[in-house]
Amino acid sequence: MSTLEAVRPRNLMSRERPAYKHPHHTQKAFEILNQMRRECLLCDVVLIADTTEILAHKVVLSSCSQYFYAMFTGDLAEAKSDRITLQEIDPAALVQLIDFMYTSEVNVTEENVQVLLPAANILQMTEVRDACCEFLQSQLHPSNCIGIRAFADLHACTDLLQYSQTYIEQHFVDVVQHDEFLSLPSSEVAKMISSDRLTVTSEEQVYEAVMMWVQHNRTTREDFLADLLEHVRLPLVTHEYLIQRVDEEPLIKISSRCKDFLIEALKFHLLRSEQKAAYKSPRTLPRTPRGLPKVLLVIGGQAPKAIKSVESYDFKEGKWSTLAEMPSRRCRCGVAVVSGKVYAVGGFNGSLRVRTVDMYDPMKDVWTSCPSMEARRSTLGVAVLNSVIYAVGGFDGSSGLDTAECFDVRTEEWRTIANMSTRRSSVGVGVLGGHLFAVGGYDGASRQCLSSVECYNPQLDTWTSVVEMSCHRSGAGVGVVDGLLYAVGGHDGPLVRKSVEMFNSETSTWSQVADMHLCRRNAGVVANGGYLFVVGGDDGTSNLGSVECYDPKINTWTLLTSNMMTGRSYAGVSVIDRPML
């Protein structure tokens, strides 16, 4: 009897078994190879960068780098050499890259990324190059994004280049506040402001960026003003701003080309609507921003008590997830986003109306405290205008407020601005055409829900009344899409509304749009990608976990198929770039 027959079970048909594979074989083998390298065993090449010498095995280098594969398997002289000098590679970066070949690990930091990425490029180690690009992408900030874009362009990192370019366009208002922008040559400034994809709330912001750049070194730059102003879409600037600011600018007055652009803009404002539509000029085309991948944040709220949890909805994936909780419970707060940071302002902690402010860093998934407001405010309205956070109205625990204040994130200081004409708690706030609009709310003095609307001019520090809504709305959500302001839901006493109306500042009129699927008050409202999203709220009897999306092109509301994990009202909402966590 053969040995095989002896081990084969009787009366059973032979079955093929899969080949045995040890799950840690490769890792173990490379650990031993690395140990051999450190002990100088069987090494057959010495790599030299500057004065640094590194022993290695040609077969390992060739298996991990196309650069070395071509070098050691071709007809080059280095194929037979045991000492290779590598030009233009940082010695410390080379050490890290060789370590990576043996260990599959590399630590990318702020200190080494600028030498590690070029070295990985030269050695055609795409995994390390991609890790460096991902690190730089996670570090993007208005203060460094221009430099990162230039670095990506220099080293042909296409994805990082495209991402950083989009980041600059989307954060243009914040980017121009930093030294990188002020140090750009005129040709780069012109290229930046000519982009159709700049994200600005008004064209005034582009004009002001140009003037800031010129004034930074007026003596050498004022001759470039006309070339830059050609790319500013002055006809889209408000008539008031053209008269009060542009026409009064001394540098505009002394340039015939600049005056021509101003005259074109003023004439455009005199045209009828149908004439404006037919007017052909690159300066009258609205900008069409292209966004980075986005997520929706839902911060705190009542469920039914004040909570501190934070949920995130990935628009691309259609999934909800949780993020770091706030330091304390908070509902009825306002939320603002400046330079990629999220600010939760005021609100109610379950026992007290608060003046505190917490800031969330999406890249680190952490919350930190910021300077507090001057007044306690819950059910306030919050919005961002020219990178300044405005806190409007609210309730301080004893009465509704007609006061407002603003926070400059650069100086970290709050200051009081002009009072509104009416006390407004549960007020909605939006930004339109460089102005702040306070919509509806509740007047505690007269104990009535409001249909009135006030407009704040930051240049004059004044509030003025505008045309009222068609109905009373307290606790309405406010959002802006394509230059139109929407007042969503809200209530008038016990009546909770599903109706929505839209304000056109050019015609100074309100008009009805399609109703939501559900009645909602105290819901969060935010715009993204040309759509309006309404999040949670309550219907008068219970909190809602659903989200509705409005498409203004077809005047239709759609319920998202995925609800929040926690139904909540009085939550703060915002849209941010998807964090690289």
What is the percentage of the chain residues whose pLDDT exceeds 90? 82
End-to-end CA distance of the chain: 64
Phi, psi of 405 (to 5 degrees): -150, 165
Please tell me the distance from the alpha carbon of residue 536 to that of residue 235, in angstroms, as a whole number: 39
**pLDDT for res 4:** 47
**405-419 tens-digit pLDDT:** 999 998 999 999 999
Per-residue pLDDT band at 276 (split at 50, 70, 90): confident
- Answer for the pair 229, 210: CB distance below 8 angstroms, yes or no: yes
3-state DSSP of 292-348: CCEEEEEECCECCCECCCEEEEECCCCEEEEECCCCCCCECCEEEEECCEEEEEEEE
Type and span of the H or E element at 229: helix 225-229
Q: Which domains are present in the chain?
A: 26-139 (3.30.710.10), 184-278 (1.25.40.420), 294-577 (2.120.10.80)
Per-residue pLDDT band at 333 (split at 50, 70, 90): very high
The total of other beta-carbon atoms located within 10 Å of residue 51's CB is 6
Sign (positive or negative) of CA dihedral 560, 428, 471, 474: positive
pLDDT at 13 over 80: no
Please tell me the distance from the alpha carbon of residue 3 to that of residue 213, in angstroms, as a whole number: 88
Type and span of the H or E element at 278: helix 273-278
**pLDDT for res 274:** 80
- Answer for the pair 356, 372: CB distance below 8 angstroms, yes or no: yes
**214-226 tens-digit pLDDT:** 999 999 999 999 9
Task: Single out the residue of 529, 517, 440, 519 nearest to residue 486, CA to CA.
Answer: 440
CA distance to 169, 256, 298, 431, 557, per residue, from 564 (Å): 31, 57, 9, 27, 18
Exposed, middle or buried by CB within 10 Å (0-12, 13-18, 19+), for 327?
middle
What is the percentage of the chain residues whose pLDDT exceeds 70? 97
Please tell me the distance from the alpha carbon of residue 245 to that of residue 240, in angstroms, as a whole number: 8
Pairing verdict, β 83-85 and 310-314: unpaired
**pLDDT for res 74:** 86
One-letter amino acid of 191 = K
**116-164 tens-digit pLDDT:** 999 999 999 999 999 999 999 988 999 999 999 999 999 999 999 999 9
**545-559 tens-digit pLDDT:** 999 999 999 999 999
**pLDDT for res 498:** 97
**473-527 tens-digit pLDDT:** 999 999 999 999 999 999 999 999 999 999 999 999 999 999 999 999 999 999 9
Per-residue pLDDT band at 581 (split at 50, 70, 90): very low
Task: Single out the residue of 476, 298, 296, 288 nearest to residue 379, CA to CA.
Answer: 476
Alpha helices in 380-482 (DSSP H): none
Per-residue pLDDT band at 63 (split at 50, 70, 90): very high
**169-202 tens-digit pLDDT:** 988 999 999 999 999 999 999 999 999 999 888 8
**239-258 tens-digit pLDDT:** 999 999 999 999 999 999 99
Task: Single out the residue of 526, 532, 523 nearest to residue 554, CA to CA.
Answer: 532
